[in-house]
């Protein structure tokens, strides 16, 4: 699971925390971390679509899960909340219940917009990628088009040969500027990507 965040670079500029998720055939990590025009490393140093810092704290996690927390980031807290809410059985419902809890507790403490994030969870075959914020102005989230379609669009792109037929990449920002390679996940939407392709579902919180 991942969320976007940011920090300050020397000189006062903003440096965003960017992330990606991948599923599919084995792939050299450098193909998405280093080699692309707007690789994850490049985005971490200069994020054109970045925004402000985010912070978080923990509450509501099942006590049996606390020994498994290896840090204090909001990403880990959100992940273990989702596990508490049934992530292994129904990821979409678990994410909705988790967001409901974050928003309810936040509002109880006077936070106007408690939730701001992009999230991905995966089980080795499927990626569920969520773009959501209480304010309705979420940080950016994109995923790749299906590889066969991309190859038809760009038959001479040698780098595409590294990706298998069932590869999917979910990213905070597109890895390059080629039209049609990446699809933006709409506001308050879950993208579900698996071996059959991808589809989007509205994210409707019960709160």
What is the number of residues in the chain? Answer: 207
**What residue ranges do the domains of the chain occupy?**
5-202
Q: State the pTM of this model.
A: 0.74
CATH of domain 5-202: 3.60.20.10
Residue-wise DSSP of 165-192: TT-EEEESS-SS--TTSEEEPPTTEEEE
Question: Higher model confidence: residue 23 or residue 95?
Answer: 95
The Cα–Cα gap between 176 and 181 comes to 8
Q: What is the mean pLDDT of the chain?
A: 80
3-state class (DSSP) for residue 139? coil
pLDDT band with cut points at 50, 70 and 90 for residue 89? very high
pLDDT band with cut points at 50, 70 and 90 for residue 70? low
For 91-147, how does the pLDDT look when each residue is reduced to its tens digit (9 = 90+)?
A: 999 999 999 999 999 999 999 999 988 999 999 899 999 999 999 989 899 999 998
CA 105-106-108 angle, 5° bins: 65
């Amino acid at each position: 699971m991942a969320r976007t965040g940011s920090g300050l670079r020397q000189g006062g500029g903003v440096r965003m925390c960017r992330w990606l998720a991948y599923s599919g055939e084995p792939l050299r990590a450098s193909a998405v971390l280093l080699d692309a025009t707007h690789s994850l490393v490049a985005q971490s140093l200069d994020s054109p679509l970045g925004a402000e810092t985010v912070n978080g704290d923990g509450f509501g996690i099942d006590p049996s899960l606390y020994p498994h927390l290896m840090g204090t980031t909001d990403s880990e807290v959100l992940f273990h909340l989702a596990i508490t809410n049934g992530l292994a059985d129904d990821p979409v419902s678990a994410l909705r219940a988790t967001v409901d809890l974050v928003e309810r507790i936040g509002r109880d403490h006077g936070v106007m917009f408690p939730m701001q994030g992009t999230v991905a969870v995966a089980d080795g075959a499927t990626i569920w990628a969520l773009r959501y914020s209480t304010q309705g102005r979420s940080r950016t989230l994109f995923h790749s088009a299906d590889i066969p379609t991309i190859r038809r669009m760009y038959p001479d792109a040698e780098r595409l040969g590294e990706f298998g037929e069932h590869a999917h990449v979910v990213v905070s920002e597109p890895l390059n500027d080629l039209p049609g390679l990446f699809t933006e996940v709409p506001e308050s939407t879950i993208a579900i990507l698996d071996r059959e392709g991808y589809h989007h579902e509205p994210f409707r919180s019960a709160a």
